[in-house]
Amino acid sequence: MDNVKIAVDAMGGDNAPFEIVKGAVDAVNEFGSNIILVGPEKTINDELEKYTFDKNKISVVNATEVISTEESPTIAIRRKKDSSIVVGLNLVKTGEAKAFVSAGSTGAVLTGGTFIVGRIKGIERPALGTCLPTTEGFTFLLDSGANVDCKSSYLVQFAKMASVYVEYVMGIKNPSVGLLNIGAEKEKGNALTKETYEMLEESDLNFSGNIEPRDVPFHKADIVVCDGFAGNTVLKFAEGLSTALFKIIKEEITQGLYKIPAAMLMKPFKNLKTKFDSEEVGGAPFLGLKSLVVKAHGSSKAKGIKNAIKQCEIFVENDIVLKIEEKL
């Protein structure tokens, strides 16, 4: 996409700037992407010298400060005007870039996205989406942590935004929407879920009813809607459980008599690990803003950054912001 530039925070995450710069270069070489890398100019240029790529496809915008995960997001966004996150988000605000990717402080990215890029007119609260691996691909979870306290009207908007995103970015026509709850029956849940159920049932969405957390991995719905507190709890538990299971299985099949057969299982387990790899998706989209902001995992390597950039390009190409506005 020659006319679409994606701003990338070169200093965000545990592996910055090395893996971030490499991911940007890989996106240029594989997708023909146009990238603006944001951070200390000399540091970034020194990294870029290691690679071969079309020099017209990557530009560097200098930013002298970095926001750490230990800082208060609101204070840091206000005070560190020359940080890579603030500078990158302002590139999106002014239209110099169409989207922004960062593996840096989640709080700073979400706070900065809301106040600098701004919300779509009519959106009450932007929400953070996450792709959870299932037996049939991915289920899109919204909200996965941006809004711990929600009204039913927020959840209905989450469902509408997610429906647009999943259909046009993930390619699932008329995606089904499930409401995260403690039971599948309509009368289950608290006041929030009961009211939201009624509103979703009356909407034009493909609402499939309540979904229990245990059913999420079996892809009972393409989209799972919930408040950010419940969503982040599900996400963190899923991350921990998958890590623990892989550890237990690896220990079991590499002991004693299992050692030889274990070698034969390496490829299947490698394929399984790929299915659970967050880098395959690239990052979590912050939906409801006037332009896309993607929060990549803090431990992202080049592959994750490359795929986050691709996600941004698909988002812009399909004019998702306009489609969300039309859905409201």
* pLDDT over threshold 80, residue 83: yes
1-123+288-321 falls under which CATH superfamily?
A: Isopropylmalate Dehydrogenase (3.40.718.10)
Q: Among positive and negative, which fits the CA dihedral 283, 288, 292, 298?
A: negative
Cα 305 from Cα 303, distance rounded (Å): 6
Among the listed residues 183, 206, 186, the one whose alpha carbon sits nearest the alpha carbon of residue 196: 186
Edge to edge, the sheet with strand 176-180 lists: 58-62, 34-39, 5-9, 99-102, 292-295, 284-287, 127-134, 137-142, 223-225, 176-180, 206-211
Among the listed residues 298, 324, 294, the one whose alpha carbon sits nearest the alpha carbon of residue 27: 294
CB 144 within 8 A of CB 231: yes
Cα 62 from Cα 40, distance rounded (Å): 5
Q: Do domains 1-123+288-321 and 127-280 have the same CATH topology?
A: yes
Instruction: Kindly indicate the confidence band of residue 245, based on its pLDDT and cuts at 50, 70 and 90.
Output: confident
The 10s digit of each residue's pLDDT in 287-321 is 999 999 999 988 889 999 999 999 999 999 999 99
Beta strands in 80-225 (DSSP E): 99-102, 127-134, 137-142, 176-180, 206-211, 223-225
Could you tell me which residue, 269 or 219, shows the higher pLDDT? 219
Characterize the bridge pairing of strands 99-102 and 58-62. unpaired
The 10s digit of each residue's pLDDT in 5-57 is 999 999 999 999 999 999 999 999 999 999 999 999 999 999 999 999 999 99
Tokens of 254: 């590499």
Name the fold adopted by 127-280.
Answer: Isopropylmalate Dehydrogenase (3.40.718)
- Neighbouring residues of 11: CB distance < 8 A, sequence distance ≥ 6: 17, 20, 38, 39, 40, 63, 66, 84, 104
Query: Hey, where are the domains in the chain?
Result: 1-123+288-321, 127-280
